[in-house]
Structure formats: C-alpha cells, structure tokens
Chain A
C-alpha cells in the first residue's frame, strides 16, 4: 500500500485524539451522571471504534467492503447518539424553584 506509513501515522494520531476525547467525556459523565453526558461519551466512543475498525482493516482482518460498511454504520450511530443527547438534554428539565432562581436538574420519568 503506497500510503501505508502515512496512514499508520494518521491512525495513531486519530487513536490518541479519540482516546483523549473519550477520557474527557467519561470524566464528565462520572461527574454529572446524567443521560446526556452518557450519550455524548458513547458518541465519542464511536470515534475510537472507527480507529479500531480502520486498524483491523489495515491488518487484513476486515475486507474493504466490510470496513466501508462499518465506518458508515458508525457514522449513523454517532449522529443518532448526538441527536439523543440533544433530545434528552431537553427532558433533563430545569425546575426553577418557586422562590429561587437557581435551578436544579430534574429528570423526567418519561
């Protein structure tokens, strides 16, 4: 493969960046313990899975069509998770206390 070395460098960079982002997202979720944070973390996890899939393809463990399909499935998954995060952020509603203007998060029991 002509682009072999370049591809390996790119994959390594993508792996480090995706792992850092996922680490931040998991730390954020550990702090907040809310559904939107979990969904954001899962969405960012798909970035890391992408790197794993690409590495598997490079190592010959995955055929090109399978690799292609997997990447697009992950795209759909990521978009769906972000949409779900945005959506649930709406149902983690802020209830302005009757006599205060500090809000507390209240999870809808929908």
Chain B
C-alpha cells in the first residue's frame, strides 16, 4: 500500500480572459493572444520557464484572415523551444485545446502546460461566408448553408418534437443578457426583454437577431498542471475530474427521417460526450449533483437541447424548467451565468471560456455572477455543423 496517496489528477492553476468586444483595434492578433497569456500566467503565479508545452487554440484560419495563424501565435505564447500543437475543431476548438493540454499532463509527458488563443471575428466581414465553406463542396456548398440556418433547422425540429415556442427561445436570451450584465468580460451586456427579442429582425426563421450570438474579438488562456506539481509547489487549483469528446456524422440530412442515426433537434453526440464525462467523474445523477453549467449555445434555441444533453433534465423538460427560472442565477442549476456564447463568441476560444468560467465558479472566483456554494460544474463545446463535441466536469 502506498504511503503517499495517488496524485494523478490534472488541475487548472491559471486563467486569463481578455475583455471581449466586437473589435479590438488596439491589439493585433498576436497582441490579443499575448494579452490572455500574460493574464493567465499572472493568475498562475508561475515563472514562464515552468511551462513545458503549449496547445494553441485556433479555429478556421479564414475567420482571422491569417493562414496558419499559429505561426504568429508561437511568439505570442512564448512557444519557442517548447512542445507546440495547434488544435482546430471549429466551435469546440477551445475545449478541445484544454483536452489536449490535459492529456499532455495525464500521459506523464509534462507537468505544466499552457493553452491559449484568440479570435477577431469582428474583423471578418463575411463570417457566414467562411462558415458556408465548412460544408461539402460536392453536394451541399451550393446551398446557402451556414451555422445560423443549420441551427434554425434544429430549432424547427425541436419546436415540433417538444413544443418550444419563439417566446421560449427569447427567454434564453433574456436570462443570458441579464447574467452577462454582471460579467465585465462579456461582449453583449445590455439587458433585454422578451418583447425586444421578439421584435428584433428575423435572420433565419425562427432565429431573430437577438437569438444570435455576436461576432466577438478577444483572447483566452489557461494553465494546467499535474496534481503532484500542484502539491509540491503548494499551488491553488480546481480539478478536471471528467472529460470526453464525441463526433457525429457530417450529414445533417442523416439526422432526420424515420430512423436517423442521431436526431438533429437534439444534441445526440453531446449527450454521449456528457455520459462519458460523468462516468469518468463518478457522477450518477447530474440533475442533482451539478451545481453550475457553462454550455456552448451560440443561438438561444440550442441552450435547450444542450441542457437536455447534459442530462440536467429529461429531453424537452428544459423548456418548462426555463419558464420556471430553474436555470437562472439563483435558480436550481444556473446555466451560462457568464452570459455564455450567446453574449460573447470569439470562436477560437469560446469553448475555452466555457471551461474557464466553470473553473472560476467552482473556485469561488466568478465575481458578481458567482453561484453560491458551487463546487461541481460542467462545460461543453460544439464544433462544425453541430458535429464535434467536447465536455468536462470540474470540481473544487
């Protein structure tokens, strides 16, 4: 029997998030990455020499308009002579990057790893043009497919299956904006009413302007370390106790019909990813055990199927629970207390911000949007055509 108990967990020891705005004309792309790294290193209270590897968080190059922008990023993250890896899983990139950082440590290869990135979506005049290019050029690109109308079609199916209304969608925006107003880093912080959402212009029915995330610019970084290192150096940390990734078929049309491989209304693969994360963390009843959730939901409707997928309720029950205020700050399981993706979306780091915000919550450092007594939280990221997912369980 070991005298010293096993110290094989991976902890988060530093978090840096820039302010997120439509444009950051004061900072070039590498400047913005650097800003997040400096914040994370200051938070970790570590000398930079301690960093053994860097996982670089960067989604489609065309969004920042720099081919292989990780080249410019190497200097911004202090990556010279260190292990270096770029991750791109679209919207899931940020959580995939934290996952890759986790495995660098869990494998025993490193004790301390930095993950960082930034995006400047506000500089891209054609983000839906860029996102149209993620569709197959053979059969589908000719259609005006984009992430907005793809998830509008998910909304239409969710409405039919579970009775979600346009007002139910608006309710998510109202909740998240109210919470973003408490988060100084959030991009859209103006409180809005259901009427404001309902009367905003239609983008892709049933999605209206205020049902949609903004195009944000900003950076994020996190420092992860082994439990042994954290113990030896007497550092403060919160722990990643469960994590998983799951991919789904490319074909949206296969997620429909009489016998779909997955239902486009639901977030089928996200649910599977959460199941894996919960199993690893030993969580048997998420609806009772989860205190706080940051779920990647760039459009109001997608918060419902994400809550369902996280098993915080049975499928479709999220609608009634949202009406009852159960997912608000002060409610039973607060969701997206930071304002979430709906209020801030700098794509390359959006899913990292979900992990970062959950970490701050279980750490008790979330500030004005802190959930009292939160000790166990979950985070998720969705990428591609609702196709590639990552999930985590974080504990104090």
Do they bind each other? no
> Interface on B for A, CB 8 Å cutoff?
none
> Interface on A for B, CB 8 Å cutoff?
none
